[in-house]
Amino acid sequence: MTAIATRRPAFRWHIVVFLAPAVLVYTAVMILPLFATLQQSLYREVDNQTVFVGLDNFRTLLGDPRWSSSFWNALWNNCWFFIVHMALQNPIGIALAALLSHPKLRFASVYRTAIFVPTILSFVIVGFVWKLILSPLWGVAPSLLDLVGLKVLFEPWLGDETYALTALSLISVWQFVGIPMMLIYAALLSIPNEVLEAAECDGITGIAQFWKIKLPLILPSIGIVSVLTFVGNFNAFDLIYVAQGALAGPNGSTDILGTFLYRTFFGFQLQVGDPNMGAAVASVMFLIILAGVSLYLFGIQTRLRRYQF
Amino acid sequence: MKTAFASMLMASTIIAGVAPAMAEDVSLTIESWRNDDLQVWQEKIIPAFEKAHPDIKVTFQPAAPTEYNAALNAKLAAGSAGDLITCRPFDASLELYKKGYLAPVDDVKGMENFSDVAKAAWQTDDAKTTFCVPMASVIHGFIYNADAFKELGVEPPKTEQEFFDLLQKIKDDGTYIPLAMGTKDQWEAATMGYQNIGPDYWDGEKGRKALIAGEEKLTDPDWVKPFETLAKWAPYMGDGYQAQAYPDSQNLFTLGRAAIYPAGSWDISVFNAQADFKMGAFPPPVPEGGKCFISDQPDHALAMNAKTAHPEAARTFLEWVASKDFAELYGNALPGFFPLTNEKVELSDPLAKTFLSWRDSCEPTMRSTYQILSRGTPNLENETWTAAANVINGTVTPEEAAASLQKGLDSWYKPGK
């Protein structure tokens, strides 16, 4: 018996075995391609030979007036896309979650499902449906506006430089408002009743209860939602591509980093693709997202107060 | 039991191993962007070939036009592309040839049936090697609703002045939208607009070659004028044309709501199937005292994947594509795609015949941006899309559009050096 007790504990192989599938798959499909892309951005094709050029591709991207104007245009458009999401999607999501978690609301699950359904629709469907709705020729938008006598307000939004990007951002907000709603809804439900009852004893009820008790408790969830929105927006591509095509017209006004990357990497129409410059754009996108997420993780999340229930 | 199962496995392995050797069926796959033509290929073209060559099976595998180049490049790089590859004209295919993805086709039987002009779009710059067998060209012009013209008592225009008078008349009448075109997809404005009417202003081949040689600039009056004319189209296009995409324009015309459609001849087969009114066509109206030019653009050709597993079968198919039989079959099966062969080909479709007749009455040329000028970054063709759409939308003036195009071209293209 004593011999067994003094034996060193056996190496716990099951941990390795259980972790292996995830680690291997993740390495193969995420980590290796990521480093391959970063590496590719440091090379360039010269006379059918791949040569190492250091940071030259990045110098072209940010220094050459043509490349840099496309790049900054895409970056600013992407920021606007993100701003619209932060200003509308997340507050609306929180408001909807607050309404849904109200104990006296009837048919809550019906609303919840209805609002969440667009999220699970394919981008292709959403893009085409909205293109049809907003079409000046066959869309319901002009006729609906006509019904209430506001036809003058109708514009061919998706074809107008001034409005196209905002219109697309709003479509995206419509599609994805279900995500913050669900996450915040779950966070609201997890607030223990004792806390709320204590608040009621202190005379904090109704809207004041939301601002003073619930909102501080769900701040960590809002933080997560913001990061998800940030990553999602700066990786966005599908909706713009489906609705406006790879040139992201009119006049590049809806061009975001995703569509810019697509055109650079794969080429478009007569433009032959340039995988090395494309990899440079992809690397910049990665760095932007990395910077944003790090800012959140180290700058904001560490300062959020966590409450133990 | 176990042995019985094992011997069954054995037997099936042997059968599976022997089967391909017994029937020497080779199967070829064609890569293409012509997904509209899938049915024609499956029902007419492939059966005709397989009848003559029962040992070769052919699959037509099209991708969406806007995704084709990217998808093909990726497939070729990965070695998973089909045996036969439909070639875009000029640089996109030249690039593929230079990378060694396409095999030369000079010694394919029947290549002597094509003129140098027909082959020009698929040759090396020194015109020594051809790497695709030319299949078809497309011609630009205007298709009109003949019933509507009759109803309004108007005739197809010959000059630019007549064209605008006609548009005004249709607009005043109010029954029809004069011009079925939108700017949302941008390429409509450039291809059906700028490249359609442009050759009349820059004297077709003469201007196109001078631009390549650097003797003319996009800011010269001959190259700015087509933009000025385009800008004048805007009032005659439908409400909200800024958000009108290419399929919208097609539907607007085939539903009989628009009178004139700035067309590429490839629209003919779609319109024949969808429109229930009579259609006619007229070539781009000539400006005062000008000559008539048409854009007769080499559109697609067929090449052999250099790494194909069945080079013999692929070559047999290419020889068939170079034959007169194919030209006639293809030209008639896909009205609107005109064979490039020198042999006399009879077309039966009246609308396609009208387009083809312009080859005799007008001087043919091709799109100005395709040869050499779209080789660099920024890409002149893609820039022209944006510029033409902007001009029609009124967000830039014709002069500004031309100036920005020339500036982009100057940044990488130094002719004569």
Q: Is residue B34 part of a domain?
A: yes
**pLDDT category, B5, cuts 50, 70, 90?**
low
Q: Is residue B316 part of a domain?
A: yes
Tell me the C-alpha distance between B115 and A285, whole Å.
49
Residue A130: the pLDDT is 93
Supply the angle between the helices A275-294 and A56-63 in degrees, to the nearest 10: 80
Residue where one domain finishes, among candidates B335, B356, B377: B356
Q: Which of B26, B65, B72 is nearest to B49 (CA)?
A: B26
Contacts of A232 (CB under 8 A, 6+ apart): A176
Residue where one domain finishes, among candidates B315, B335, B356: B356
Confidence check on the interface: ipTM exceeds 0.85, yes or no: no
Q: Is residue A51 part of a domain?
A: no
Q: How many CB pairs under 8 A join A and B?
A: 123
First-to-final CA distance of chain A? 44
Instruction: Note which residues in 236-275 of chain B have CB less than 8 A from chain A.
Output: 238-245, 248, 251-252
Supply the angle between the helices B65-78 and A257-266 in degrees, to the nearest 10: 60
**Among A67, A138, A159, beta carbon nearest to B242:** A159
Q: Are A73 and A252 in contact (CB under 8 A)?
A: yes
pTM over 0.90: no
CB atoms within 10 A of CB B278: 14
Q: Is residue B251 part of a domain?
A: yes
Is A138 an interface residue toward B (CB < 8 Å)? yes
Are B273 and B149 within one domain?
A: yes
Residue B371: the pLDDT is 85
Is B68 an interface residue toward A (CB < 8 Å)? no
Q: Is residue B303 part of a domain?
A: yes
Half-sphere exposure (CA, 13 Å, Cβ side) for A23?
6
Are B262 and B318 within one domain?
A: no
Q: Does residue B207 carry a pLDDT above 90?
A: yes
Residues of A in contact with B245 (CB under 8 A): 131
* A164 Rama sector, left if φ>0, alpha if ψ -120 to 50, beta otherwise: alpha
In the predicted model, residues of chain A with pLDDT beneath 70 are: 1-6, 306-309
**Among A157, A245, A250, beta carbon nearest to B183:** A250
Q: Is residue A287 part of a domain?
A: yes
In chain B, the largest separation of any two C-alpha atoms, in whole Å, equals: 92
Tell me the C-alpha distance between B193 and B181, whole Å.
9
Contact flag B244-A136 (C-beta cutoff 8 Å): yes
Q: Is residue A50 part of a domain?
A: no
Mean pLDDT along residues B320-333? 91
Q: Is residue A109 part of a domain?
A: yes
Q: Is residue B18 part of a domain?
A: no
Residue B334: DSSP 8-state: S
Residue B60: the pLDDT is 94
Q: Does residue B341 carry a pLDDT above 90?
A: no
Residue A292: the pLDDT is 93
Residue B22: the pLDDT is 41
Q: Is residue A193 part of a domain?
A: yes
Q: Is residue B16 part of a domain?
A: no
The predicted-structure confidence for B244-268, as pLDDT tens digits, reads as follows 999 999 999 999 999 999 999 989 9
Q: Is residue B4 part of a domain?
A: no
Is A49 an interface residue toward B (CB < 8 Å)? no
Q: How far is B54 from chain A (nearest CA, A)?
A: 36
The partner residues of B219 in beta bridges, in order of sequence, read none
- Looking at the 3D structure of chain A, how many domains does it have? 1
Q: Containing domain of residue B352, as a range?
A: 27-138+298-356
Tokens of B323: 């034959």
Are B82 and B180 within one domain?
A: no
Residue A91: the pLDDT is 95
- Looking at the 3D structure of chain B, how many domains does it have? 2
Residue B18: the pLDDT is 43
**pLDDT category, B15, cuts 50, 70, 90?**
very low
Q: What is the CATH classification number for the domain harbouring A218? A: 1.10.3720.10
Are B70 and B95 within one domain?
A: yes
Taking CA–CA distances from A48, the nearest residue in chain B reads B99
Residue where one domain finishes, among candidates B331, B356, B381: B356
The predicted-structure confidence for B141-155, as pLDDT tens digits, reads as follows 999 999 999 999 999
Residues in chain B: 417
Q: Is residue A309 part of a domain?
A: no
Q: What is the CATH classification number for the domain harbouring B70? A: 3.40.190.10
Taking CA–CA distances from B96, the nearest residue in chain A reads A272
Residue B24: the pLDDT is 62
Q: Does residue B3 carry a pLDDT above 80?
A: no
Q: Containing domain of residue A101, as a range?
A: 56-303
Are B41 and B161 within one domain?
A: no
Helices marked H in B363-397 — which ranges?
380-393
Tell me the C-alpha distance between B117 and B219, whole Å.
28
Are B303 and B284 within one domain?
A: no
Are B267 and B213 within one domain?
A: yes
**pLDDT category, B344, cuts 50, 70, 90?**
confident
Contacts of B200 (CB under 8 A, 6+ apart): B226, B284, B285, B286, B287, B290, B291, B292, B293
Are B43 and B117 within one domain?
A: yes
Q: Is residue A280 part of a domain?
A: yes
Residue A308: the pLDDT is 61
Contact flag A137-B248 (C-beta cutoff 8 Å): yes
